[in-house]
Each structure stands twice: as structure tokens, then as C-alpha cells.
Amino acid sequence: MNGRGLDRDGTIAREGALDRVPAAFVPVVDAARAHIAETFDGTRLHSAYLYGSIPRGTATPGVSDLDLQLALHDEPTEADRADARAIEATLDRAYPQIDGVGILLTSRRVLLSDIERHDAGFFLACLCTPLLGNDLAEQLPRYRPTALLARETNGDLALVLPRWRAKAAEAATDADRRTLSRGVGRRIVRTGFTLIMPRWGGWTSDLDRSAELFGRYYPERAEQMRIAASVGRAPSSGPAVLGMLIDDLGLWLAAQYAAVHGEKLPRP
């Protein structure tokens, strides 16, 4: 991998690996693997993956969360979701070095579908680290930092903003606002980075680096993006911060994104 996250052939390198997991998080990963294998048998689970700061080797004890993607043989059911929530709660209670657990459930069909080729497929092939089962990345292409990839990964921000706005209005506690602000901050930074990704010509998932690279192209919005990156790491309960991210930076970013890359293809 070079300094822009690319392999020698110019395609985006897979960013994580099990041997990069920091020592403090190894017991968490081992427990996650065991709980998933015990809960989801071979008729339900095709494969499981880690993603985020833990497999990238940049996780901070007590701050970072544990992120998992499960690829199921069939479409997720309510029973699958209930089992995933139970695993999330068990791991979060047992390991103080993580601040929350998130498990995504997606069918093998969706992950390999044509319409998800440059979104969920890219996510699995480049941003997820195999944990259990056969790696679906072997059935997906190599990816380059193109405008198509930018459009299909983050070209739907305009659709997300109203949902965030509603959640912000409904947030009753500081904990609710912190949870929302972490997700909003991370998504805003990822969208800001992929806006400039084809021009920069590489890939990174690091929030601070993403914000810094974005600021080179849009200096007038650089400080707001730095705040988004900070909130993505250390969430804020301040309503004013959420308001800025959603109704100022977010609105501008959605319009700019549509003008530069277009809007993501509608999903069924």
C-alpha cells in the first residue's frame, strides 16, 4: 500500500487486517468471533467481518467502538436482528475498552448485487476484514478512486439530512445527542472526503486525514470539517454542534456533492 492507500496497480488496498488489531482489543475480537459463531450457524451465516479503527490498528481503548458486518445466506429476519442486538449488548457490557458495538446484517445477494457493486460491495471488499467464513471479496472487483465510486458511496446525503434533523428534534438526553453526533460527524467527514477523492487520487478512512485533505480543496469549510472529525471521534451533546453539522455544513455538502458527482442511484 502506498501513501494514498493504493496497491501497485492503482486500485484501493484493503485497509484492515487481524494482525493490526491492538493488543487491548484482541480479547474483544476473539469474543465477538465466538459469540457470532455460537449464535449464527452455517445455515444463516455466510461470513463475518470487522471494520473501523480496530482492524486498522488505530483504535483507542475506552473511546473506540466495535464494528461488525455479517453476510447472511438469506435476507435478515427479525430474529437475526434480535440476535445481533443481544451480541452487541453482551460485548458492550463485558469489555470497557469499547464504547459501543454495531453489527450490520446484509444478505449475500445484496452484497454481490450489481446495484451495490460500488457501495456495499466496495465497503466489504476494501473496508472490511474477514473474521469468519469465506471472504466475499474474492467475488468482487478491484476498485479505483473514481467519481462513480464517490457517487455510489455517499451521493445520498440529501436523503439522510431530514432523518438526522428529525432524530435531533426527538433527542431527549445528552446520551441521545452524543450517539447521533458521532454518526453524523463520521458520515459528514466520509462524504467530504469522497467529494474530493477522485481529485486527490487515493483512499483513507482516517477522520483527521480526511478532514485535512478536504480542507485543501475547500479551505472556507475546513474548520467545520475539522469539528465534524472531532465529533466523530469524541461525540458532543451540544445542540449547536449538531445544528451546524446538519443544517449548515450538511446542506452545503449535499448540494456540492450533487453538482460534482451527481446523486446515488435509487435503491428498491
Mean pLDDT computed over every residue of the chain: 96
Cell of 60: 483507542
Over residues 82-141, the pLDDT tens digits come to 999 999 999 999 999 999 999 999 999 999 999 999 999 999 999 999 999 999 999 999
Over residues 145-191, the pLDDT tens digits come to 999 999 999 999 999 999 999 999 999 899 999 999 999 999 999 99
Neighbours of 89 (CB within 10 A): 11
162 and 83 Cβ atoms separated by less than 8 Å: no
Whole-number Å distance between alpha carbons of 177 and 179: 5
- 2 pLDDT exceeds 80? no
Q: DSSP string of 22-58?
A: -GGGHHHHHHHHHHHHHHS-TTTEEEEEEESHHHHT-
Whole-number Å distance between alpha carbons of 213 and 187: 16
- How many residues comprise the chain? 268
* Helix 251-261, helix 157-170: angle, nearest 10: 170
Name the strands in the sheet holding 45-51, side by side, starting at the edge strand that comes first in the sequence.
101-107, 66-72, 45-51, 128-133
Q: How many helices (H) and strands (E) does the chain have?
A: 12, 4
- Is the pTM of the predicted complex or chain greater than 0.75? yes
State mean pLDDT over 231-236.
89
User: How distant, in Å, are the alpha carbons of 48, 113, 150, 158, 206 from that of 222?
Assistant: 36, 36, 20, 20, 16
Q: Who's near 34: CB < 8 A, 6+ residues apart? A: none
Q: Residue type for 154, please?
A: N
Using DSSP's 3-state secondary structure scheme, residue 170 falls into helix
Q: Which residue has the cell 479551505?
A: 219
Helix (H) or strand (E) holding 132: strand 128-133
Q: Residue type for 67, please?
A: D
pLDDT at position 47, please?
Answer: 98
Q: How confident is the model at residue 245 (pLDDT cuts 50, 70, 90)?
A: very high
Whole-number Å distance between alpha carbons of 40 and 34: 10
Q: How confident is the model at residue 238 (pLDDT cuts 50, 70, 90)?
A: confident
Name the CA radius of gyration of the chain, rounded: 18
